[in-house]
Structure 1
């Protein structure tokens, strides 16, 4: 059985997309290379044996073994003469692919990995292959199966070397995103900590360590920056702007704005309004 899919529009989603996937039962000594690939490819051996060569190192692989091919690296792989392998593969492109793969224990120095007995990665790649065969909303289906594959990959092969650092960075990124999406509302530090399922004091330490300000200061700065932008680029009333950045009390907003910017919102608008031609 052979199925080989090459995606014609790999940059529909710039962060992550599929450019190839497939399933092949190889003939004796069937080989690829020496050659380079333009994206990241993962092959999983379903049965049989074969060899993978990179940087003068040769790996002998069999069922449940897998290998990751990095872009622009000279590689060669070949099916065994007597027991040729059958494998499936998926190729990924996009600006976030490296970030996702760096969160796994798989690396250039360790490109070989073995699936657990209860691994869902084969099913995940089969779902990707199936998604390429539909006609309606194909792009969305492909993208959803790719994210599911990466989820299973990170779940099965997590990078534990910098676990604490990665955890703190993840909490910080999620906190900043939550604030960006909710700063217009009356959110509190407890709301953010609850959303992340962490203690508020731990959240405070993460902000101070990474941004050198407290979460409260970050929210305040974001609200006032957004207010200044609205004052200089829109004709919204002071009250409308106040409510748009999380202040239901316009007087409190004006007092806070003046304290941090040295003038009232009205004066700020007067001296900073962008002339519209």
Structure 2
């Protein structure tokens, strides 16, 4: 078996709620490995044939044909092809002002990053159309590919909903609490929140929520919220917004405090990060 791959890139990616950046496919070799590394965009893979392993957010998933896995910006990941049956997959990289919110509404989060099963034939057609559309380019490519991306994600949402009907009852009360909190934080991150407000809004005891959340995710709700805000800020700093506007957009009323938190998190100030980002934009979907 030989390695075969192709990649098509959006020639003029704009800004908006949901923007397709690139799409491709690959037949991997035995044991082919990507990572550990991070991206600054969203990336979804759909496994066409073969098997492999996906490591994300402290979990390891054994995946095969029909499975898909989502990578979120700023989070460490790794995936490896099976030695005996190396997988082939298609992928789409994307970004958007509402990308995380839209995924969350479909119950796709950092802690529910694998979708299974997805109708194989329909998935293959949508991924194929996306790659062809980006390869052709032309007027309206960005708008058309964005629409196709919505159709693709809607299919995941429909399948996720069918899964939920059969599996939600198997979740423990604690898991349901934590999943609800994750979805709530993912949508409400732009609001000025405290742990007390979070607990009160969800109807949970503050101490109990923090303990259960950390047990399930490895971090406190406050740390999780800060992580969402910082990753969102990175994306917004690529847009024509002032640092003050970025700070306000991710829930910080004080831009100086936001800048201190950003530098503490990434080792660079928002201005320094913006200068680096404008200097180079790399979409590395497969090594």
Give the TM-score normalised by structure 2.
0.52
**Count of aligned residue pairs for this structure pair:** 162
Cross-structure match for 1:90: 92
What is the distance in 2 between the residues matched to 1:157 and 1:60? Answer: 18
Residue among 79, 82, 85 paired with 2:81: 79
Residues 135, 71 of structure 1: alpha-carbon distance in 2 compared, 3 angstrom cutoff: closer
How far does residue 14 in structure 1 lie from its aligned partner after superposition?
A: 2.0
Greater RCO (Cα-Cα under 8 Å, separation 6 or more): 2
Q: Is residue 140 of structure 1 aligned with residue 143 of structure 2?
A: yes
What is the distance in 2 between the residues matched to 1:115 and 1:22? Answer: 21
3-state SS in 1 of match to 2:150: helix
Cross-structure match for 2:132: 130
What is the distance in 2 between the residues matched to 1:94 and 1:117? Answer: 25
Q: Structure 2 unaligned segments of length 5 or more: list them.
A: 169-175, 177-287
Residue among 17, 21, 41 paired with 1:15: 17
Contact 1:131 1:145 in 2 (8 A): no
Cross-structure match for 2:195: none
Residue among 24, 40, 43 paired with 1:41: 43
The CA RMSD measured in Å over matched residues stands at 2.4
What is the distance in 1 between the residues matched to 2:153 and 2:119? Answer: 18
How far does residue 9 in structure 1 lie from its aligned partner after superposition?
A: 3.8
Residue among 63, 66, 71 paired with 2:65: 63
User: Which structure would you say has the larger Rg?
Assistant: 1
3-state SS in 1 of match to 2:20: strand
How far does residue 7 in structure 1 lie from its aligned partner after superposition?
A: 3.4
Cross-structure match for 2:5: 2
